[in-house]
Structure 1
Amino acid sequence: MTLNDTSSLKSHLATRRSGRPRDLVEPGPSEEELAEILRLAARTPDHGKLVPYRFVVVGKEARDALAALYEQALRRDGAHEAKIAKSVANAHAAPTLVILISSPVRDHKIPVFEQELTCGAAGMNLLHAAHAHGYVGGWITGWPAYDLAITDAFCNEGERIAGLIYLGTSACELEERERPDMGGIVSRWG
């Protein structure tokens, strides 16, 4: 795509949709494609060049361990069997799972909020890069992003889970959701 090929870029931006992790099936990105997707995801605005995020790829061979971690955390909290079953299924959803970790540099002149925005931008870039490779992504948080046992398994001190990003091919047609009323979110000053 060239800088003059704005119709392709507009089409890319207009057609990206999120998919539900449970609806994402094979094929998913190959190892080479995933490496390229993550490389593109890291091309994000980053005031101070701090790289306040990181990616944890949860391989297929680790999904049973993730499911066990989910189940243990939920049983500890007395969750219903239905929630446990759904969470165990989510641990196995989609061919590829990338956990986006917010890893801000504390006590730095760049505010943590700006660093968190950089992390969010990396997540959005990841979704766009997956779409550009022909895959669908679903970014969720939910209880695993806030449970101490889960965060302890993936995060270092001062970090937190920004999202669980599932990648694959959608098994069903992606739904268009209602988009914001631009008149309600765009204003002019001056």
Structure 2
Amino acid sequence: MPKADPAALAFLQNRRSRPAKTLRPPVPDEEALRPLLTAAARTPDHGKLEPWRFIVIDSAAMARLASVVERRGAALGLPEEDITKGRSQFDQGHLAVAVVEVQKPSPKIPPLEQTYSAGAVCLALLNAALAAGWGANWLSGWPSHDRGFLQEGLALAPHERIAGIIHIGTETAAPPERPRPDIDRITTWL
């Protein structure tokens, strides 16, 4: 019989993201953030390619990134409401970690599996932050997919892209529970 970890399973069965707009200081400092990044980096990674890296975004960087979003949105001719929504995570954010997907050439590991690994890092970081007692939320939005924003705002190389931006802070309001998937409806047993 395997050795169970009931507390870990209960945490995973009941975990709940916290809306980024409700997260406030204090936020984790480098010493508190390092174990969360370490936990996220233990994500399954076929071929040990590490097809991801982290960019920690502090409050000063948030203000700069909000301005970049504003400029990029205008350059793209986006509606004002899209620009406002795109910059809101940076206007309201205090600390976030951008998980950057870094595709690596491999004859054995297809690019899609590297993408899955980067997504798994996002969830692992989100869960690590929640398990450590912080509020956390995984966001993206149009700026995360705009090459101009990625280059100007985050200095990403042409082969890099954002898998997710994980906002971390102190929870100020508990979110209401929401409906969860019906396991019987989405599961096929063979």
Displacement of 1:16: 1.6
**Matched residues in 2 for 1:52 and 1:108: separation?**
14
Residues 86 and 141 in structure 2, CA contact (< 8 A), matched pair in contact too: no
The answer as to 2:178 corresponding to 1:177 is yes
What's the offset of the Cα at 1:4? 5.2
> Which residues in structure 2 correspond to 1:125-136 (within 5 Å)?
125-136=124-135
1:112-127 → structure 2 map (5 Å cutoff): 112-127=111-126
Counterpart check, 1:166 vs 2:167 = yes
| Residue 15 of structure 1, CA deviation | 2.9
How many aligned positions are there? 187
Cα distance between partner residues in 2 of 1:10 and 1:118: 21
Q: What residue is the counterpart of 1:61 in the other structure?
A: 60
Shift of the 44–69 alpha-carbon distance from structure 1 to 2, 3 Å rule, reads same
- Show the counterpart of 1:44: 43
Identity %: 35
**Equivalent pair of 1:93/1:166 in contact (CA under 8 Å):** no
Matched residues in 2 for 1:60 and 1:19: separation?
19
Cα deviations by residue, 1:45-67 (Å, 9 ceiling, x for unpaired) = 11110000111111222122101
**1:109 pairs with 2:123:** no
Quick one: which amino acid aligns to residue 173 of structure 2? C
How many angstroms does 1:5 deviate by?
Answer: 6.3
Partner of 2:88: 89
Give distance in 1, aligned partners of 2:101 and 2:5: 32
Amino acid at match of 2:132: H
Q: CA RMSD in A?
A: 1.8
> Residue type matched to 1:169 in 2?
T
Instruction: Give the letter for the 1:72 counterpart.
Output: R
Range with bigger deviation, 122-131 or 98-107: 98-107
1: CA distance, partners of 2:151 / 2:87:
18
Structure 2 length normalisation: TM-score? 0.90
- Give the counterpart letter for 2:83 in structure 1: I
Structure 2: state its 5+ residue gaps.
none
**Letter matched to residue 157 of structure 1:** P
**Contact (CA 8 Å) 2:134, 2:168: kept in 1 or not?**
yes
**Aligned partners of 2:107, 2:61: CA distance in 1, in Å?**
35
1:33 matched residue in structure 2: 32
- 1:17 touches 1:136 (CA, 8 Å); kept in 2? no
**Counterparts of 1:42 and 1:59 in 2: how far apart (Å)?**
20
Contact kept? 1:26, 1:94, Cα under 8 Å: no
What is the SS of the residue equivalent to 1:165? strand
Letter in 1 for 2:170: T
Q: Which residue of 1 aligns with 2:6?
A: 7
- Paired residues of 2:62 and 2:94 also in contact (CA < 8 A): no
- Once the two structures are overlaid, the 10-residue window that deviates more, 164-173 or 50-59, is 164-173
**Matches of 2:118 and 2:170, distance apart in 1:** 25
Question: Is the Cα–Cα contact under 8 Å of residues 23 and 172 in structure 1 kept in the other structure?
Answer: yes
Report the alpha carbon displacement of residue 175 of structure 1 after superposing the two structures with TM: 2.1
- 1:41 and 1:129 in contact (8 A); partners too: yes
